[in-house]
Structure 1
Amino acid sequence: MPETTHSIDIVIPSYRLEKDYILPLIHLSKPEGWLFRYYIVVDNPRVHVNEEIARLAAIGHINLIINPANLGASTSRNKGLEAGSGEWILFLDDDVKADEMLLHHYMHAITRWPDEIGFIGLVKLPPPPTAFARALLVNGSMMIFGIAEEAEAFAWGATANTMVKRAAVGTVRFSTDYPKSGGGEDVDFFLNIRDNNRSRDYKTLKEAVVYHPWWGGGKASFKRPFRYGIGNSYLGQFIPKYRYYDFPNTPEALFLLMLALPAVALFAPAYLVVWGQLFMGIALAEVPATLFQAAKRKASLDAAVAYYLVFLKLAYETGLLWGNIARFRFAGIGARFEYKGRAHGNGFFRFNTYKIVKWTLYALLGYVIFL
């Protein structure tokens, strides 16, 4: 066997430790002359360990770490990262199926571009099985999964399939200041590595493919976008160089109106009807603005997809609002985060199709109410 020239640590945090996912990842085809070490960190002390996984751990084929309590994805990934010493670290999720040649593709990338700080692989989803799943694609929620097909390099990647160079990582770790349930900590981790390496983006590898299932088979659930909104409310606070301020979104605008309600009721009760008209108008303006933007993107819409599209956006933005007000960070209202890793100094206000339509409707509403 040729002399080993490179070592790669594969870090997989898991709660379920499902053998149908974990074992195929362990048994992926491996290039000769390369050393691969698995660090599977189980964030569930009550987990049932499959016999084959237990056997592989016992003979040292994998490193199985079981947390004493549910510590969250950040702590679990940090444990795997710190347990190893490989030159490169590949992060995979515990619910993906990988292309059999995945490790070969990463090996070729390291050999060809050894000076890169990391590589972003491609995460493929099956065709959307439901209207809710189609809406997730239309609203851009899954953009980062497919970024390897859209750009040659990007500022951060999904932990479902991204590799980083240990030397580039340095002392950066997944922050435990984000909610334990997840959201924002992956963006934080990869951007901080990037910032410590002269703001160099990660090279994308569309040939390095894993396949991710739809959560719950595509069944409608707004918990995930709401949770991501909460987690992402921390990003502008923790990495302020990428924070900017924008016009209030719909939940923020309605929240500000609710704050004004007691004063209106006490000092100007005659305007309560106007207040109610504004509240309803702002809430309803979300529908045509969201759908007009989707139509501009030439998205294929039917009634069910349109319905989910509106409420996915509201769920995320409500989570963003709640994440700020729950920790009394009212300065976070209107704060946004630049996900492409472009610093904006003191920030600025942006217009796009969605906002132009929405604020035009606001102006028409004001005209009808006050004139």
Structure 2
Amino acid sequence: MAFSIDIIIPSFRLQEQYLLPILDLKKPGEVQIKYYLISDNPTIVLSEALTNRINNEDVILIVNSSNLGAAATRNRGIDAGDGTWILFLDDDIEVQDDLLLNYTAAIQNYQEEIGFIGLVNMPSPPTTFAKALELMGATGIFSVAKAKESYAWGATANMIIRRSAIKDLRFSENYPKFGGGEEVDFFLRVREKNGFKNYKSLPGAAVTHPWWHNGKRNYKQFYYGRGNSYLPQFNPQYKFYDFLNTSETMFAWLIISVVFLILNHLKLQAIGLVVLLIILIEFIANMLRVYLKTRKINFELIYELMTVRNAYEFGILYENLSRLRFTGIGERFRDDGSFKRSGFALNKYKIIKLSLYGLVIIYLIYSAS
């Protein structure tokens, strides 16, 4: 079975300590391998070691004329090549030298598959902030190859897909160029074009991804909820509505408070108290979440989890409001590719918050009477 693989690596930094080991991966004997390094930094200056590896035959450098973002940059790589398979890799991963051998064996052994999800290992969390990201589920898609036999999408940090499966589909450039949502959108649309067939997990094809900023606190990065807010809009078949999260609750309370103040039915003290109660409820819910996961009460971890989670959720709310898309409030997205969900999905976290909110409502009714 003859085939070829295009390896697409979008990058802004093009750091040789990560890229050179990728370029030195063991090559399967009868498989043609081509690397496409796409620089999204028009002012990039390559190191001497990387410059010596660019030959425009099997290692091709493409430099964007301006900063285009992840989606457009990956699309340039797809269009530049013609390989039977397309392997997406991040530019800051550490690779095992048998990565291509594992993918090649899978392609030969499972010839009906449209793609394979590789495993992306993360080191142990080096900071409390990193631990909070892990508890939040921000790294869950990286380990999906280990958790499930197949899934509806995978991270472009390490995933291979058959070119004939994507046909004319490309990463949507309607998402914000700073990222968020375009990966899920692309792989779900490819899945739809191929009879809703999931991508097979391949945990043996593993890479290691370092913690962003070495695990240091960085809430801005997880503001990527802004990009994810477009997913239900562009893929309404996967959307559903759920209980309001804390950011949405704060916004709803703001609107209600303005109305109550105009009608003179509520005092400023009561409005401020409810805001404090909403924050307290969020803290208590996260405290119980941390305890159920770790069997410990760690206030620093509770704070970090609460803050990063709300940064993500506020990003979704902000982006919906900036587009005057009020239907996005309470809107959620099934990124597992399923269609049906009856009613609201409950879990311990939501039950705790709903119970506490019930007490707040009782207080408001009592105050207004």
With normalisation by structure 1, the TM-score equals 0.95
Q: Tell me which residue corresponds to 1:262.
A: 258
2:300 corresponds, among 280, 304, 325, to: 304
Cα distance in 1 for residues equivalent to 2:90 and 2:8: 8
1:101-250 map, 5 Å? 101-226=98-223, 228-250=224-246
Q: Compute the displacement of 1:289 (Å).
A: 1.3
Tell me which moved more, 52-61 or 186-195. 52-61
- In 2 relative to 1, CA 87–299 (structure 1 residues): closer, same or farther, beyond 3 Å? farther
Check conservation: 1:254, 1:283, Cα contact below 8 A: no
Question: What letter is aligned with 2:30?
Answer: G
1:354 to 332, 349, 359: 349
Residue 285 (structure 2) aligns with: 289
How many residues align? The count is 366
Alpha carbons of structure 1 residues 65 and 204: separation in structure 2 relative to 1, 3 Å: same
Measured at CA, do residues 154 and 301 of structure 1 come closer, stay the same or move farther in structure 2, by a change above 3 Å? farther
Partner SS, residue 247 of structure 1: coil
Between the aligned partners of 1:230 and 1:70, the Cα distance in structure 2 is 19
Contact kept in structure 2, 1:264 and 1:272, CA below 8 Å: no
The 2-side partners of 1:323 and 1:300 are apart by: 35
Tell me the secondary structure at the aligned position of residue 12 of structure 1: strand
Assess if the C-alpha contact under 8 Å between 2:257 and 2:266 holds in 1.
Answer: no
1:330-345 equivalences in 2 (<5 Å)? 330-344=326-340
Match of 2:94 in 1: 97
1:290: Cα distance to partner?
A: 2.1
1:301, CA displacement in angstroms?
Answer: 5.2
Instruction: Output the CA distance in 2 between the equivalents of 1:296 and 1:132.
Output: 18
2:32 is the alignment partner of 1:42:
no
Please list the CA deviations of residues 3-39 of structure 1 after superposition, one character each: whole Å capped at 9, or x if unmatched. Answer: x811000000000011111111111111101100111
In 1, are the aligned partners of 2:33 and 2:58 still within 8 Å (CA)?
no
1:58 is paired with a residue of what secondary structure? coil
The equivalent residue for 1:279 is 275
Deviations 1:292-338 (A, max 9, x none): 23333446552221110111111111111011011111110110001
Percent identity at matched positions? 43
Render the CA deviation track for 1:214-253: whole Å, top value 9, x for unaligned.
1111101111111x21010000001111100011111001
Query: Structure 1: which 5+ runs fail to align?
Result: none
CA distance in 2: counterparts of 1:148 and 1:163, whole angstroms: 13
The two structures, once aligned, show a CA RMSD in angstroms of: 1.6
CA distance in 2 between counterparts of 1:322 and 1:278 reads 21
Q: Which amino acid aligns with 1:357?
A: I
CA distance in 2, matches of 1:300, 1:293: 10
- Any conservation in 2 of the 1:243–1:337 contact (CA below 8 Å)? yes
Q: Give the distance between the partners of 2:301 and 2:275, measured in 1 at CA.
A: 25
8 Å CA contact retained: 1:96, 1:212? yes
Shift of 1:270: 3.9
**TM-score between the two structures when normalised by the length of structure 2:** 0.95
Alpha-carbon offset, residue 257 of structure 1: 1.4
Alpha-carbon shift at residue 195 of structure 1 (Å): 1.0
Tell me if the contact between 2:290 and 2:298 (Cα under 8 Å) persists in the aligned partners.
Answer: no
Instruction: Tell me the residue number matched to 1:79.
Output: 76
Contact preservation (8 Å) 1:139, 1:294: no
Contiguous gaps of at least 5 residues in structure 2: none
* AA of the residue aligned to 2:116: F
How far apart in 2 are the matches of 1:150 and 1:59?
39
Q: Which amino acid aligns with 1:362?
A: Y
Q: State the secondary structure of the residue aligned to 2:54.
A: helix
Q: Is the 8 A contact 1:122 1:207 kept in 2?
A: yes
Residue range with higher mean Cα deviation, 45-54 or 151-160: 45-54
Q: Structure 2 CA distance, aligned partners of 1:138 and 1:365?
A: 27
